[in-house]
Structure formats: C-alpha cells, structure tokens
Amino acid sequence: MAGKVKVMINSPYPFESEWKKIKNKLESSPASKPSGITRDTYLDMAEKIVRELCPLQNEEGLITDPYLPCDIHRELISSARFIGALGQLIKAGRCLDLRQQLFAAVQVCFHHWAEPKRAPEFRVKELIYAWEAMEGYLSPSDKVRWEESLKNYDPAACYATFVYDMHNNFTTFALIGEFLRYKHGFIQGIEMVEGLIEDQISRDLFTAAGLYKDPGVPLTYSTVVTQQWDFLLKLGYDGKFASAVDEIVRRAGLTTLLMQSTTGQAPFGGRSNQYQFVEGHLACFFETRASYYAGMEDSIMAGAFKRAAHKAAECALPWIMEMAPPRCIKYAGDPALGHGHDGYASYIGYASLAASLFATAWHLSDESIEERYAPYEICGYVLDLNADFHKTMAACSGYFVEVETRSTGHRYDSTGLGRIHKSGILGETAISGTIIANPDYSMGAGIQAPKKNLAFGPGWKNSAGDEFRLADFGSEIADVQTIMLKEEPGIVSFQIIYKGEFGGVQEVKEEYTLTPQGLQYEFQLAGSYRESYMLVPLLENDGELSSVISMEDGKLQVLYRGFMYTVSANGSAKTCLLKDEHLSNRNGTYATGVIHAGKVQAALTLIP
C-alpha cells in the first residue's frame, strides 16, 4: 500500500508548467473589480431554500417531495441535507425560529439509522452540523439521546459502503462522517478513517491531476470527493495519510480552478450535472483552498480561489434568489416537470444539498482574504483531460470552451463542442452542455427525449446521402489528440484530431481559436463524403422563456434574456434550421442550425 501512495504522489502534476505561467500573470495583474458576492450571500441562498422547504415537512419530521410519490430513502437523504443546511444557518445566527423543525428532522433520521439500503453515510455530516447548532438548546434528556445515537451505531453494519462493498464517492461521505464523530468525541480513534483513505488511494482512483474517478468518470463527483478531502484537512486531520491527502487536494484544487467556466459554472460531463449543488461544492472547495494559500502567505493564489468561490455563488444566485421556488437545476421551467433530473435525484434532495453546501461555505469563508483575478479571467490556457475524462477545455479573453472528446456509452454527453461561455453572459445563451439522444436523465412530462445527438461541430453526408455527425461517435474513436498551436496574450489556439471510422470519414480535425472577438472554429474531414456543414445548437426555450432566433446568409443569431449569440461564416454561406428537429438537454430545448461552411466565428454580446 505505502508504495502505491508514494508512486501516485511522486508522479508529475501535468499542469505544473502551465501554472507557472498563470501564476506569473496573476502576480502582475491589477486588482480585480469586486464581484459583489459577500460571505452573507452564501447564507442568503441557503436560507431562501430552507424556508421554501419548511412547509414540506410532515408530522413525522421528514421533508416530503411535492412532485414525486413518497419514497423513504429519498426523503431521509433530503431531510438530512435540510438538517445540515438549517444547522449551519442556526450556527451562523440565522433561522433561530426554525429550531423545532430541525429537532423533528433529526429525530426521524436517527430512527432510521441502521438501514444501509438508505445510505446513512450521507446523513452523518449533516447530523453533526445539527449537533453543533443545537447542543446548547437541547434538554438534558434529549442531549443524552442525541449523544447515544451518534455514539452507538455500528458503521460496518449500517453504511452501504461496507454492507455492499462499495468503493466510490460513498466512501468519502463515510470517512468524513467518521472523522466528525471522532472530532466531537463520539468515537475514540480514526482507524476506520485511515482505512477508508487507504482504500481509495490504493485503488488508483485519483489521477495525476488530482481528479477523482467515480464510476463513469462524471466530473461532478470528482469535485464532490476532492472538496470533502480538503474539508477533512480543514477539520484537522493529520493522520498517517495527511501528506498524501494534502498533495491530492493541492493538485485537485489547481485543476478544478482551471475547469471552472468564466461564468463561474462547474464543468459539464456525466451524471449529476447542471445542479446548483455543484457550484455549492465549488464554493466550499475554493474557500478552503483560499484559506490554505492564505496560511502559506500566498495572497495571489488565496485571492484567486476566493474570487472563484464567489464566482460559483454568482452563477447559482439567480436560479435560487430570483426564481420561486428556487430551481435546483439550471432549467427555468416548473420544478414539477423534473426536467434534467437523474433517476436517483429529486427536487428536495438537490435543493437541500445546495442549501447545506452554501451555508457551509459561509463557515469556511475567511473575510480577510481579498479577491484577486481567477486564471480564466485574465489568462489563456488549454486543459487536456483526454486520458481520463475525455475533455478538452480552454479559456482566453473572457471566453471559455469545453469539448467532449469521446462520448462514453452515449448516456449523458455527445462528442463535440458542448460549452461556449463568456464572462458576464448568462451561460445558457449559447450552450452549456451537449445534447444526447435518449439520455439517462429525465426530459420531464410533455418534453420529448432527443432522437439525435447534437453538439457544435461538423456533420456530413456520404455518397448515399446518409447523414453523420461527430456527435454520434464514441467507441468508434480509435484515437484523439489535443495539440496546442498558440498561447499568447489575447489568443489561444489548439487542434483536436479524431481518428477512427466515422461513416466513410477516417479523420476529423477541429481547430479552435479564442480571442477577444470570440471563438473561431473550423474543421476538416479526411475520407469519403459527399458534403459537409456546420451544426449549431440554438436555444429555443429554457422552460420559462423563449428566445428569438434569426438567420440570414452566413449568419445565425439567438437573442435571449438580453444577450446575443451570433455564429457567422462568410456572407455567401447558406444557412437553415432543420425542420422538426427540436432537441433538449438539461438546460432547455434547441433548434438545429446549419451553416454550409467549414469555418465560423461564434461571439456572445450583451444587448445595450
């Protein structure tokens, strides 16, 4: 085991040289304009959600789902997250009028403690938050009952992690819960914590970049795990694997910061995507990283992480504070539809989780740390994650792009460019994630599941007239490479080359160039085909509001919530919208635009 830990930690961090350039740029940059996000913003969002959930609490104490049939497993997890959010709010001096609601929810969670099929490891952290908030308010008899509940259960018999021999993100929730029990004196040692850490490292679940490989490599669960491992250090863990954990989260923090969009949004990729709770994890992670670098007397990196934490909150803010009820996912339609939800997810489960995380971010925040620019705001870089997460990301001049380079099983994402963001522009204006035919998440009542795959990128027809799209291919891709072409002030350029058998085409070469004017994109095909063209997803409706789509020769435009998205080629290029092709992803429904050109320019602007 020790040898495996040593090898992992001694393997080079793949973006060390990139970070040297970024750090130099950050050090020479002027002070950033304040984001306007404060520490109390975290509590405002958490309290808004908690007060919306309170009327859903039944007589037993459970938070019940207003949109789905009764399910005790779902409601226990949701109630625990409600407990965590409310506990953190009460500790911060908010929601003191809701202590009885917290007490009732805690009691019912304790009642169902020893039920591994209901994953109690998800509850321990949240229940400890409640203990910290309520210890001074409990009667002597209630205090004894709570103490006995937190002391006397057997994790080996209760946790799904052990009962079902699981080695995924559940393990991290178990180790955090057990360390919190140890910290509060409910157990005497951390042998189980050490064993769980050793299990995860020995299974080679962390990449050299520090990212965690949950089954199917969803990027959300990389952040879920590494944020909590950093939290473990923040809580005071200094056991035999402390140096290994420290190096993992150092790398993970640096890599995750580069993956954050210029809008503050977490990357797309895999399950549990586009939920506000993911930005909650980012806020917590980046606050602890900010404190880490402040402790190292590195004000530049501390300020960059502080800025990134605030950007994550800023991204989630309108979905929570400006909509009623708050949206748990980045879809403006009625939550009753369940649009975009994974099969295991629910409104109450992920709304309450977002609340718990943002409330926790308040406790992790050090107000003495001043914001500095985040790397993606003033630096240009390309992040190649093809080896493990089949992603390429790039930032420059306020723009950010993310490319899925090999769809895995075509369950959540299709191959191709799935994100075009610009700082200050609502992320959904162009696109935040690809479109997949018959996805493994819900379209919601009345919304048809897509029958085709779609990403920003090439389509072509063979000699028989059959259509193919880069978005259609995954396992057929034999090799994919990301090649840096240029990285200079104000411009970043790179290629992605796909090789395989793609309906008569053997190679697809894409070239991306980011400048202050936007994204310049072009593609070339090698092989046998009759014609080729650009496919452009165009947002039609976000569940609440319809956009205005217009076109003319060489140009497609979307006007959406005061922002303009324009994709243009030379003036003579023919454009059209494919009839009856209205495809949805988690964020909304899209028309399919076509430009008969191999080179286009995409730009995002604020309408005066």
User: What pLDDT digit, counting tens, does each position of 514-546 carry?
Assistant: 999 999 999 999 999 999 999 999 999 999 999
Identify whether residues 421 and 303 lie together within a single domain.
no
Using the predicted structure, report yes or no on whether residue 7 has a pLDDT greater than 60.
no
- Which tokens sit at 346? 């629910």
Q: How far out from the chain centre does Cα 16 lie? A: 23
Identify whether residues 144 and 184 lie together within a single domain.
yes
The per-residue pLDDT for range 404-458, each reduced to its tens digit, is: 999 988 899 999 999 999 999 999 999 999 999 999 999 988 888 999 999 999 9
The per-residue pLDDT for range 307-364, each reduced to its tens digit, is: 999 999 999 999 999 999 999 999 999 999 999 999 999 999 999 999 999 999 999 9
Identify whether residues 131 and 191 lie together within a single domain.
yes
Q: Are strands 416-422 and 563-568 parallel, antiparallel or unpaired?
A: unpaired
The per-residue pLDDT for range 233-245, each reduced to its tens digit, is: 999 999 999 999 9
Identify whether residues 203 and 153 lie together within a single domain.
yes
pLDDT band, residue 8 (cuts 50/70/90):
low
User: Which of these three, 376, 394, 417, is where a domain ends?
Assistant: 376
- Which tokens sit at 253? 């923090």
Buried b (16+ CB within 10 A) or exposed e, 361-393: bbbbbeeebebbbbbbbbbbbbbbbbeebbbbb
The per-residue pLDDT for range 26-76, each reduced to its tens digit, is: 999 988 889 999 999 999 999 999 999 999 999 999 999 999 998 999 999
Identify whether residues 457 and 524 lie together within a single domain.
yes
pLDDT band, residue 6 (cuts 50/70/90):
very low
The per-residue pLDDT for range 114-144, each reduced to its tens digit, is: 888 888 999 999 999 999 999 999 999 999 9
Residue whose C-alpha is closest to residue 451's, from 346, 261, 581 = 581
Identify whether residues 527 and 541 lie together within a single domain.
yes
Range of the domain at 240: 2-29+37-376
Rounded-to-integer distance, Cα 319 and Cα 358, Å: 14
- Which tokens sit at 546? 């319809």
User: Which of these three, 376, 410, 435, is where a domain ends?
Assistant: 376
In sequence order, what are the beta bridge partners of 564? 559, 605
Identify whether residues 358 and 331 lie together within a single domain.
yes
> Is the entire prediction scored with pTM above 0.95?
yes
CATH number for 520: 2.70.98
Identify whether residues 364 and 450 lie together within a single domain.
no
User: Which of these three, 322, 346, 376, is where a domain ends?
Assistant: 376
Prior bond to 335 cis, omega within 30? no
Whether 180 and 225 have beta carbons less than 8 Å apart is answered as no
Rounded-to-integer distance, Cα 508 and Cα 506, Å: 7
Identify whether residues 218 and 114 lie together within a single domain.
yes
Using the predicted structure, report yes or no on whether residue 9 has a pLDDT greater than 80.
no
Identify whether residues 359 and 485 lie together within a single domain.
no
Identify whether residues 358 and 320 lie together within a single domain.
yes
Identify whether residues 17 and 50 lie together within a single domain.
yes
Q: Residue 517: which residues within 8 A CB-CB, separation 6 or more?
A: 601, 603
CATH number for 14: 1.50.10.10
Q: How many domains does the chain have?
A: 2
Question: Would you give the DSSP letter of residue 546?
Answer: B
In the chain, the percentage of residues whose pLDDT exceeds 90 is 93
Sheet holding 531-541, edge to edge: 467-469, 457-461, 531-541, 588-595, 575-585
Q: Which of 3-17, 114-128, 485-499, 568-582 has the lowest mean pLDDT?
A: 3-17
- Which tokens sit at 524? 């070339």
